[in-house]
Amino acid sequence: MKAWLACRVLAAGLVSFVAVAGCGVRPSDVIPAGDPPSGGVAPTATITLYLVKNGRLDAVTRPRPRHRPLFKADTLALLAAGPTGKEQARGFTTDVPGEAGPFSVTVKPDGHLVVTLSTPAGELSALAVDQIVCTAAALAPENPTQVTVLGAGQSIGPRECPE
């Protein structure tokens, strides 16, 4: 009886080996698959704002909020809100007036950004326009980005960040 069981186990093993070895799959070389995947990447842990220090633009990073999405318009609203206490202590200011918000940001098919303000664009200082242009451009996946600032029927740009 034990011999019969051993024969059955041996036969089952032999059938399995023949099935695996003779399944018709031939070895092949590496098959090229084209370009690697592309697309959006996970958002960074920080955001970049362009504030003013000693009359010039200066990039400042802040932590990105963890528990809610941060839209492009939200980042521009941070410019109008001004520097944090720590940033003020380091000499940072903003030329973007608080009443410039709320902002909206439209991305054109060619990547061009259009930032719409709640105040006339022509009333902004040159530094305020540069703050908006540079901060908006920093949000774009590819730099340099053309940015147009619109407000109350007035348009400035398209421009690239001068920094």
19 lies in a domain?
A: no
Q: Tokens for 36, please give them.
A: 């690697």
CA dihedral 70, 76, 82, 87 (to 10 degrees): 60
123 lies in a domain?
A: yes
H helix runs in the chain, sequence order: 2-21, 72-81, 85-89, 126-139
Residue 95 domain boundaries: 46-159
pTM of the predicted structure, to 2 decimals: 0.69
68 lies in a domain?
A: yes
Give the Cβ contact number of residue 116 at 10 Å. 17
- For 39-53, write each residue's pLDDT tens digit: 444 555 888 999 999
- For 111-149, write each residue's pLDDT tens digit: 788 999 999 999 999 999 999 999 988 887 666 688 989
Taken as a whole, the chain contains a residue count of 163
Nearest partner of 147 among 138, 125, 83, 50, judged by Cα:
138
2 lies in a domain?
A: no
Q: Count structural domains, the chain.
A: 1
133 lies in a domain?
A: yes
- Confidence class for position 29, pLDDT limits 50, 70, 90: low
24 lies in a domain?
A: no
- For 84-96, write each residue's pLDDT tens digit: 999 999 999 999 9
31 lies in a domain?
A: no
State CA 108 to chain mean position distance. 16
Q: Would you say 94 and 83 are in contact if contact means Cβ atoms under 8 Å apart?
A: yes
pLDDT, greater one: 155 or 27: 155
**pLDDT over 70 (residue 14):** no
The mean of the pLDDT values for the chain is: 79
3 lies in a domain?
A: no
